[in-house]
Structure 1
Amino acid sequence: MVSMPLMPVTDSMFLLVETREHPMHVGGLELFEKPEGAGPNYLSELRQRLREDTNMRSIFRRRPANPVNTAGHLAWSDDTDLDIDYHFRHSALPQPGRIRELLELTSRWHGTLLDRHRPLWEIHLIEGLQDDRFAIYSKIHHALLDGVSALRHLQGTLSDDPDDLDCPPPWGSRAVNGHRNGRAPQPWFKTAGKTLNQLAGIAPAAYKVANEAFREHTLTLPMQAPKTMLNVPIGGARRFAAQSWSLERVRAVATAAGVSRNDVVLAMCSGALRDYLIEQRALPDAAMTAMVPVSLRAKTDNGEAGGNNIGALLCNLGTDKADPADRLAVIHKSMRDGKRMFKQLTPLQVLLLSGINVAALGASPIPGVVNSTKPPFNLVISNVPGPRSQMYWNGARLDGIYPASVLLDGQALNITLTSNGDNLDFGITGCRRSVPHLQRILTHLDTALAELEFATR
């Protein structure tokens, strides 16, 4: 094993808080259409070729330096003898091979912990879908990649050319020699100086936030969210549901209402949550609050970035309002005010002040805390930019990318979506014990979009 640098605190935190009930990996389910002329041995031959590919990003060799004690949360080590057959597995669906069977299998895999004695990732190549497509389910620990960097890494392995048969494996990279992101690392003293300058600005930044929140009353604050059936202690088992919607439908609503596409997505989720909780006889009187992750990465990052660089913005979902247009207006104002505040701060200040929004989650492992306190927010809703055009992987057409995310105690539901060409692909992760009939939320999302179309036409 080769020694590696210390972990950033933002990365080690995800190892420290992980328990059996709270696996801390991000995942994704990708659906592919086999290339024309693919024979019966297509997938087994593809797997064998990928196994022999020596192109591997260094991040996929990392494991905790000492998995059995606290020191393992402080530094990485580099596994120089990685067992690729353990990490890359070939599986088949039970008959009849419907999407239902695929999602059930994904649910089971997403609820199991990664082995800390090995690099923290798994990739499953899945055959047996009844329409002759195949799927890949991948998961990697949040300490290694956040959702944005994981999706950018995936995009880096794809191609917009259906005839490109030299795409790297899911753990590989198209990057040639050079430093991560194509930039040479800055001297430590320059980086430290910049960090100290930004830290010095935290006090005035905190004053800005306090003024907005308490004097101007424009910001949504933590601990204002109502208690719901989603804000309970959770178990380790998961359910996963997925579906796609036309990006053009969302874009048309956004244009008609004069809001952003993400506002429309949040309004879809708000309407779906309202209908789902009414169905469960559990809708709170007060408006629910979502934590909306905001990427602090530069748009020029080419997919080689690792670690975590995410801010946290709170959004009033307006679930107390029956009219979909009223809910959309509440969401638009809440997001506009939060984004305006973030633009006045540096990335480091945003990162540190975002900690205020999520700090209460740190107490959730303490027995009794989740049941006896209000949640800082009701759920996470994340919209991650994905491919803008039709993509392929070694000749196979990419049909869908469905993110599977992390759940924490007191946060039994997560909705994450990504753009994928002409579609928006939603992945919904829920606690198997606490969120009954999870797939019903997909039906309610469809209804919510139709209601928004009617309200804004």
Structure 2
Amino acid sequence: MDLLNPLDAIFLAIESREHPMHVGGLQLFEPPADAGPEFTQQLFEAMAAKTDVRTRFRRHPSRRFGGFSSVAWNHAETVDLNYHLRRSALPAPGGMGDLLDLTERLHGILLDRHRPLWEARLIEGLSDGRFAIYMKMHHALIDGVSAMRLLQRTLTDDPLDTHVNVPWVTPPVVRDDSPEPVSPLTQASRALPRILRGAGSIAAPLRGALDGRLTLPMTAPRTPFNVSIGGARRVEVRSWPLERINHVRRATGATVNDVVLAMSAAALRGYLLDHNALPDEPLIAMVPVNVRSAAESDASEGNMVAACLANLNTHIADPVARLEAITTSMRDAKQVFTQLPKLEAMLLSAALMTPLGVSLIPGFEALPRMPFNLVISNVPGPRKPVYMQGARLDANYPLSIPFESQAMNITLTTNGDHLDFGLVGCRRTIPDLDRVVDHLENGLAELERATR
């Protein structure tokens, strides 16, 4: 029996029509210079010919245990690739607005639980000659880090390599010295005595939280983002040169992720000021942190992340002072999880996510405080140019999940010498999501001016 780990089970349990629990990605490719008009058709046919679907891409929820569907996996004996892989063309003239309109519609549609929990679509018709691939997978199947590693393994750094690889046939990497995969139930049973014996290891981080050094859950203020959401989505994307972020990093001693959080804090502050809704208390972000080892890159499936809470210090007007406070908050948060074994960190993170599920229960919609205001995730991506059948990956926009009472998500990844941002929001709650993207640029620009 293939059981789910606690985080994976939560992603299945809290899903509804208003709360799709899949993550996705929108990749833009520049065809090779010698590509003819039939290039995308031939690429699609090559992708569709990859029929040796591996285990992860055969999974769908089991109906054991009296109908509960978030306990164990079933595995489809056959996979209908004509359903899971499709081809679309944009209406003329085929601008980015048309592409995002299609993407946000696809991203708002639930995956069919009677089939393996993934879909992919090749999209052509962009006026600039590029084509796109949109793919989504249920978050119970994969986390952001393993998804990005899987994507990178389907691409090549050789522009002359015409071999086509796709995620659903890419085998996992298992190192010779890596341990045999262990089921979540076995992991939990083995870990329980250790957790009980090691309760003292959690005491020190908790003392740090109580003495004010760490950001506690359920302390985030309510904002216009933190309301009940619908299932329709708004998607916005943009890229920034990594050198601009590195300039601020070098000038301040912060990390790239600290600068990204400061950009996001400035964007949230600016957007809320525009709407006369900035709270006096600082907004809190949940920042997923990878706890997967290199040997577990693909062999260990599901989610292996810890949930750090970052104080965004949106009440501070000075951009450099805000960045310094964010750096301190993240440094202290990471120290907590470095003191905890991996499974304990994941269980602590699952407990942090529980209030989001509780808020879906009738009578619990209006929690007095929010566990956090939004999720901001920085997923490592390719650091050099990569290609698919000679087509260069031009942009790689990750698209994640707005949770209940979390109307917006910000996720980004490295793509060569750029950072590619994907913002996903509730269409009803944040109809002007493009303003948040504009404020991200404003936030970076003000940090650049302050550090010259």
TM norm structure 2: 0.95
* Residue 138 (structure 1) aligned with residue 143 (structure 2): no
What's the offset of the Cα at 1:74? 2.1
Matches within 5 A, 1:95-114: 95-114=92-111
- Over 3 Å counting, the alpha-carbon distance change for 1:421 and 1:69 in structure 2 is farther
Give matches, 1:267-416, under 5 Å: 267-416=262-411
Q: For structure 1, which segment, 185-194 or 320-329, has the greater mean C-alpha deviation from structure 2 after superposition?
A: 185-194
The alpha carbon displacement at 1:310 in A equals 1.0
Residue 21 (structure 1) aligned with residue 8 (structure 2): no
* Structure 2 counterparts to residues 434-445 of structure 1, below 5 A: 434-445=429-440
Contact 2:46–2:164 (CA under 8 A) maintained in structure 1? no
In 2, the alpha carbon distance for the partners of 1:144 and 1:191 equals: 18
1:414 partner amino acid? N
Alpha-carbon separation, structure 1, partners of 2:118 and 2:181:
29
> For residue 91 of structure 1, what is the aligned residue in structure 2?
88
Q: Relative to 1, partners in 2 of residues 1:20 and 1:161: Cα closer, same or farther, differing over 3 Å?
A: same
Matches of 1:144 and 1:420, distance apart in 2: 23
CA distance change for structure 1 residues 53 and 182 in 2, over 3 Å: closer, same or farther?
A: farther
Match of 2:196 in 1: 200
Q: Given the superposition, is the C-alpha separation of residues 34 and 369 from structure 1 closer, same or farther in structure 2, using an over 3 Å criterion?
A: same
1:203 maps to a residue whose letter is A
Match of residue 444, structure 2, among 432, 439, 449: 449
Match of 1:122 among 105, 119, 123: 119
Q: CA deviation at 1:53?
A: 2.0
Whether the 8 Å CA contact 1:181–1:301 is kept in 2: the answer is no
Deviates more, 1:201-210 or 1:395-404: 201-210
Name the stretch that deviates more: 312-321 or 147-156: 147-156
**CA offsets, 1:370-404, max 9 Å, x none?**
43522111100000111111111111100111111
Q: Match for residue 9 of structure 1?
A: 6
* Residue deviations 1:275-316 (CA, integer Å, cap 9, x gap): 111112211111111010111101344445420111101011
Q: Summarize the Cα distance change of 1:349–1:450 in structure 2 as closer, same or farther, 3 Å threshold.
A: same
Equivalent residues of 1:87, 1:123 under 8 A apart:
yes
Cα 1:265–1:96 shift into 2, 3 Å: same
TM-score using structure 1 length: 0.94
Structure 2 unaligned runs (5+)? none
Residue pair 1:181, 1:305 contacting (<8 A) in 2 also: no
Question: Offset at 1:235?
Answer: 0.4
Give the distance between the partners of 1:388 and 1:280, measured in 2 at CA: 38
In structure 2, distance between residues paired with 1:193 and 1:370: 34
In structure 2, the CA distance between the partners of 1:348 and 1:23, relative to structure 1 (3 Å rule), is same
2:421 to 418, 422, 426: 426
Which consecutive residues of structure 1, in runs of 5 or more, have no partner in the other structure? Answer: none
Counterparts in 2 of 1:358 and 1:186: CA distance versus 1, 3 Å:
closer
Count residues with an aligned counterpart: 451
Q: CA deviation at 1:184?
A: 4.8
Q: Which residue of structure 2 aligns with residue 210 of structure 1?
A: 206
CA distance in 1: counterparts of 2:176 and 2:271, whole angstroms: 42
Describe the shift of the 1:168–1:181 C-alpha distance in structure 2 as closer, same or farther (beyond 3 A). Answer: farther
1:16–1:167 CA distance, 2 compared to 1 (3 A) = same
Cα separation, 2, equivalents of 1:85 and 1:160: 29
What is the letter of the counterpart of residue 44 of structure 1?
Q
Give CA deviations for 1:32-78 in whole Å, capped at 9, x if unaligned.
00112111111111111221123432211111233996343222222
**Partner letter of residue 267 of structure 1?**
A
Q: Which whole-Å CA distance do the structure 1 matches of 2:307 and 2:441 have between them?
A: 27
User: CA 1:336 to 1:192, structure 2 compared with 1: closer, same or farther past 3 Å?
Assistant: closer
